[in-house]
Every structure is written in C-alpha cells, then in structure tokens.
C-alpha cells in the first residue's frame, strides 16, 4: 500500500556513538511496555530515523520456543527462524525493522555464552562473576545489535518489573551503558501506573514515586515517564510526578488506555514525546506528523462494513496466544474498510456442543497448534465451512487438518490423520519427511523461519499474492505426505503453492469453493497495519462477500 512508504526509514545521522533508548517498567506487569517501545520506534521512523528494537527477557529459557502459550502468549517467529517473545511482533508491526534471534536477549542466552567462554578459557583464570562478566556480556550483545543493524537509534525493552531479582543484572548493564556512552546517547524511559482511585476521586502518584525510587536505588534516574492511566492526568498531577520523580514536566507523558493499539503513537506524538527524545539524544531530525497512522486509525475505528469470523483454536482464554492472528485480521479489516468481529471458539466446545456454535459466522480460521487436544472439533469446523461454502483459512496445523478432513470426508480415507496424532493411522496424510524420521532430537526436526514457495497459476493463492515466488515463515515438524498427492489432486484439492524444488506442499485450496485456502506457514507474522497480508486481506474480502449472501449475526453489514 502507498501509505507504508510514507514512513520508510532512511539514515540521517552521522553518528559516532550508538543512541540507545531503554524502556523499563514499574509497579505492575502488563502495562504495555512492548507497545510503548514499538510506538517510540514508530515516532522515530516517522522522523526519518532508522531504528532497531531489542527485547530483554530475564527468564532462564534460552528462547521462547519451549514456552507454553498459555503462560507466555504467542511464540513469535522471526525471518531467521528464531522463536521469540511476542513483543517482537509488535516491534515489526509498528516499524520497518526486520528482527532476528539477536533482537531477543534472555538470561539463558547470556549465561550460556558466558559459561561457554569460561570453558574455553577466555577469562584467563579470572573468577567469572555477575558483575562484570554477565553485565559485560549484556552490554556487548546490546551494542552488537545496534551496530549490526546500522540503526540511528536502538530501543531496548527490559522485560519484567523493576525490583525483580532476575532483572538486576540487566538494569546494572544499562546503568553502566549510560556511564560509558554518555548522557546524550542514552535515554531511560520508565513505564509506570497512575491508578485512579474512585472513592478518593483522585489519580494516585505514590506507586510511580516508589517505582522511580526503586530504579534510582539501583542507579537509574529515568528521563521520561510514560504514565499508564485510565483517565487523562491533570497538569497538577503531572507537575507533582515531575517534581517528586525528578523528571522534566514535558517528559511526563500520559499513556491513557486506547481502544486501538495503533492510536498509541498518535497519542505520544500529541504530547511531543518525539521532540523530547530527539532533543535529549541531540538527533538531527524533526518530529513529523503521522498522517498515514491517522488514516489507518480512522479506517480501523470507523469502517463502513462489518463481518464476523470464527477462530477455532485451543488457547482461547488467552488472546495473547494468537496475538499476530488477531492483529493480521485487524489489518485485513482496515484494507477492506471492514470491522472484523472475531468469535474465539475453543475447539473442544465444538466437540461437546456441535458446529451450531459456528452458525452465522462469515468465515472460519483454524490457527496453528501442537498436540491432539481439540483436533476433532477443528476438523468438524472445517467440514462445516467446506460443505456450507463459508470462507475458510487454514494456518499451519489448520492446513494439515484441512487435508485430513478432505481425506476422510471427500476421498473416503477413513481414519486419515497426521502421525502427530495417530501414529498407526492407515492413511498418514500428514507425516514427517523421511529424512526427519532419523533425527532423534525433536528440536532438530522443526522447520523454522522463512522459506520460499512457488504459487500455482491460476489459483486463489495467486489472486491474493499476485506473484509466483513468495516467502513465508514456518514453525512445524509435519508435512503433507507426498504419497497422497495424486489422489488428492484427482479428488479436487489443488496445491496452490509448493516449495520451488516441488518437494513440499506449502498451500492447498478448493477451486470448487468460494474461498478455501490453507498454508503450511504462518502468514500472520508478516502482516503489517498498513500493508495487510494478502491472504488475510482476501479471506476478509471473501467473508464480506459471503456476509452479503448470508447476513448472519450482523444483518446490516455491508449495506
């Protein structure tokens, strides 16, 4: 889309020192540090600066690959195939930065490196300690990312809440970086909470004062405070925070709850956060208005049309588990001037209550997943969408289940399954590739990161992408079993995309259906607010068309 180029980064500083913005959080978790860091990226890019972003996760896991989405939210996959924290998804959606494994630093990675160096004898007989060796490794890794990306500004979000034991070495490292790089090259942004106590009728500043006090105790004086609040903060409250936290008044920024996350850069810009940062870092740049973002928010908040889509998954209680999918649907809505209402359905509920749970939905999306819980409910949902000619979009596991459903109910392959769920299936239509079977370590068998795919012509996939070679990010072990290719083609399933060497089925679709498309990859990781992913965009378009034929829950939609 034309809009996206409006904020495309270009380098404007002739910098000697890397400029770094550190974002910490206080009082409680979940204050939106990640979105704040991402929005700072948006503001600086709009001024023509090149940014990179980094997330520090103080947990001991080396990466997010082994973490349960229930606890930790979605595992975000970068282009280079690293499994990272979902905040990297926000960073990529809010800026043009392309991130990799190094943009997510964990305690596990830091200690792993330091221990490996110690074993190699790199520390020349010294006692290896948290200070200076762990902190030294942290500083080195932070600077490396900024250097490698040739960014004007690196934005580093320190996960967790100030005061956490495991965060201490990271805070110490950023404190040292301030001393080493200098005041003009480093800014400390602290995201804090200013609760409104209705019985007192007042916004309370004490938690923020305590949180800043805690930061200062470990040597960090914040320069900017982003105060998360439900209500706007009065001038007096901001002045009070400024006075008692030792921060300039113009750097006390209100971060009010927003109904749409893409409003956040606009709210910060209104309060001149971009100017504060530019002045503080002595950047040669000028704050710019964010016209493309304003238009985007307008399209998102006041669209003329509306559709209802069902996402049938497993981690339904926790929307964060499907963060990128929710965002990609929103982007697709903006591209179609359509509000996308998502009904999140637990597939086990379909097993219990039947497909009537889907009644009135204008489209069905089955996201990725692992393990066999809820599989049959998803298969029933796919059958419903296929038979009722309701637009269907399958992602990764969603494609595998579409293949299984078609095998069972169209080709008559009873008990067709994936060997992930039924090792003794007579029709293992989804299976490991032969070369994967000899690998013992499960981690080694995962296909991760960006792979090319050749799109068939003509096809629904080609109508969406408009080009023959595309790149998409993967995170899965199992593949379409090539022994069944002929049977499926004869039965009416089309392979909309295959790997360029022809060996792997990457996309399937049903030409006899208005829009039934599935891919072995995760397109949601590449969708951008102003540049919706083509498959999501076409899925929502198909749902909108379907809603005009069968109005469903929003009888007035599209009129």
Q: Which of the residues are catalytic?
A: 396, 522, 524
Report the residue from 18, 368, 374, 519 that binds ligand GLN according to the rule CB under 6 A.
Answer: 368
Residues β-bridged to residue 480: 430
Q: Are strands 469-476 and 338-346 parallel, antiparallel or unpaired?
A: unpaired
d(CA 38, CA 87): 8
d(CA 32, CA 38): 10
Q: Considering only 66-74, 146-154, 223-231, 470-478, which stretch makes contact with ligand GLN by CB under 6 A? A: 470-478
Count other Cβ atoms within 10 Å, centred on residue 90: 28
Q: Which is nearer to ligand GLN, 34 or 369 (CB)?
A: 369
Interactions with ligand GLN, residue window 369-428 (CB under 6 A) = 369-370, 396-397, 420
By the rule CB under 6 A, 15 interacts with ligand GLN? no
Contacts of 380 (CB under 8 A, 6+ apart): 350, 351, 354, 355
Interactions with ligand GLN, residue window 72-101 (CB under 6 A) = none
Residues β-bridged to residue 312: 345
Contacts of 262 (CB under 8 A, 6+ apart): 293, 296, 297, 300, 529
DSSP 151-199: -SEEEEEE-S-TT-GGGHHHHHHHHHHHHHH-GGGEEEEEEEE--EETT
Q: Considering only 61-69, 108-116, 363-371, 523-531, which stretch makes contact with ligand GLN by CB under 6 A? A: 363-371
CB of 475 to ligand GLN, least distance (A): 5
Q: Which is nearer to ligand GLN, 41 or 369 (CB)?
A: 369
Q: Which is nearer to ligand GLN, 26 or 73 (CB)?
A: 73
Q: Which is nearer to ligand GLN, 305 or 477 (CB)?
A: 477
By the rule CB under 6 A, 445 interacts with ligand GLN? no
d(CA 496, CA 186): 49
- CB neighbour burial string for 326-343, b if at least 16 within 10 angstroms, e if fewer: bbbbbbbbbbbebbbbbb
CB of 370 to ligand GLN, least distance (A): 4
Q: Which helix (H) or strand (E) holds 213?
A: helix 206-217
Give the sign of the dihedral formed by CA 184, CA 190, CA 191, CA 193. Answer: negative
CB of 523 to ligand GLN, least distance (A): 12
Report the residue from 139, 228, 475, 533 that binds ligand GLN according to the rule CB under 6 A.
Answer: 475
Q: How many residues bind ligand GLN (CB under 6 A)?
A: 10
CB of 422 to ligand GLN, least distance (A): 13
By the rule CB under 6 A, 478 interacts with ligand GLN? yes
Q: Considering only 338-346, 368-376, 463-471, 511-519, which stretch makes contact with ligand GLN by CB under 6 A? A: 368-376
Q: Which is nearer to ligand GLN, 478 or 484 (CB)?
A: 478
CB of 254 to ligand GLN, least distance (A): 39
CB of 514 to ligand GLN, least distance (A): 24
Q: Which is nearer to ligand GLN, 32 or 368 (CB)?
A: 368
d(CA 38, CA 54): 10
**Which residues of the shown chain bind ligand GLN in the complex (CB under 6 A)?**
368-370, 396-397, 420, 475-478
């Amino acid at each position: 889309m034309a809009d996206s180029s409006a904020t495309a980064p270009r380098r404007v500083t002739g910098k000697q020192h890397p400029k770094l913005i550190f974002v910490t959080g206080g009082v409680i978790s979940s204050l939106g540090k990640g979105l704040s860091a991402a929005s700072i990226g948006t503001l600086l890019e709009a001024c023509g600066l090149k940014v990179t972003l980094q997330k520090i996760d103080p947990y001991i896991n080396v990466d997010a690959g082994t973490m349960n989405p229930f606890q930790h939210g979605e595992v975000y996959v970068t282009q280079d195939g690293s499994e990272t924290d979902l905040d990297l998804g926000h960073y990529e959606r809010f800026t043009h930065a392309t991130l990799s494994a190094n943009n997510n630093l964990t305690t596990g990675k830091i200690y792993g490196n330091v221990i490996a160096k110690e074993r190699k004898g790199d520390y020349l007989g010294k006692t290896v300690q948290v200070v200076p060796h762990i902190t030294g490794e942290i500083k080195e890794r932070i600077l490396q990312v900024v250097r490698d990306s040739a960014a004007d500004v690196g934005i580093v979000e320190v996960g967790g809440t100030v005061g956490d034991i495991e965060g201490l070495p990271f805070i110490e490292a950023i404190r040292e970086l301030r001393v080493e790089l200098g005041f003009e090259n480093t800014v400390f942004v602290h995201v804090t909470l200013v609760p409104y106590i209705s019985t007192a009728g007042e916004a309370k500043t004490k938690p923020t004062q305590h949180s800043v006090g805690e930061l200062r105790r470990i040597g960090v004086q914040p320069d900017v405070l982003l105060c998360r609040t439900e209500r706007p903060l009065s001038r007096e409250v901001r002045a009070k925070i400024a006075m008692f936290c030792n921060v300039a008044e113009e750097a006390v920024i209100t971060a009010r709850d927003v109904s749409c996350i893409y409003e956040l850069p606009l709210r910060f810009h209104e309060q001149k956060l971009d100017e504060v940062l530019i002045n503080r870092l002595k950047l040669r740049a000028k704050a710019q208005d964010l016209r493309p973002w304003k238009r985007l928010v307008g399209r998102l908040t006041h669209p003329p049309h509306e559709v209802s889509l069902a996402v049938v998954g497993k981690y339904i209680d926790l929307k964060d588990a499907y963060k990128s999918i929710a965002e990609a649907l929103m982007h697709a809505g903006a591209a179609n001037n359509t509000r996308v209402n998502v009904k999140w359905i637990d597939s086990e509920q379909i097993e219990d209550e039947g497909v009537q749970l889907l009644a009135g939905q204008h489209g069905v999306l089955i996201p990725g997943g692992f393990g066999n819980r809820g599989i049959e409910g998803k298969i029933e949902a796919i059958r419903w969408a296929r038979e009722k000619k309701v637009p269907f979009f399958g992602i990764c596991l969603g494609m595998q289940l579409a293949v299984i459903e078609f095998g069972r109910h169209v080709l008559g392959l009873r008990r067709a399954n994936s060997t992930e769920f039924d090792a003794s299936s007579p029709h293992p239509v989804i299976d490991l590739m032969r070369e994967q079977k000899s690998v013992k370590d499960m981690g080694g068998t995962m296909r991760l990161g960006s792979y090319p795919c050749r799109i068939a012509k003509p096809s629904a996939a080609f109508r969406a992408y408009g080009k023959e070679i595309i790149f998409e990010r993967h995170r899965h072990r199992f593949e379409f079993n090539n022994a069944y290719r002929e049977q499926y083609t004869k039965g009416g399933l089309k392979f909309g995309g295959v790997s360029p060497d022809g060996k792997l089925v990457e996309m399937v679709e049903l030409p006899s259906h208005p829009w039934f498309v599935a891919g072995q990859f995760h397109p949601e990781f590449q969708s951008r607010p102003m540049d919706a992913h083509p498959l999501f965009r076409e899925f929502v378009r198909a749902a909108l068309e379907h809603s005009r034929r069968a109005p469903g829950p929003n009888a007035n939609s599209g009129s």
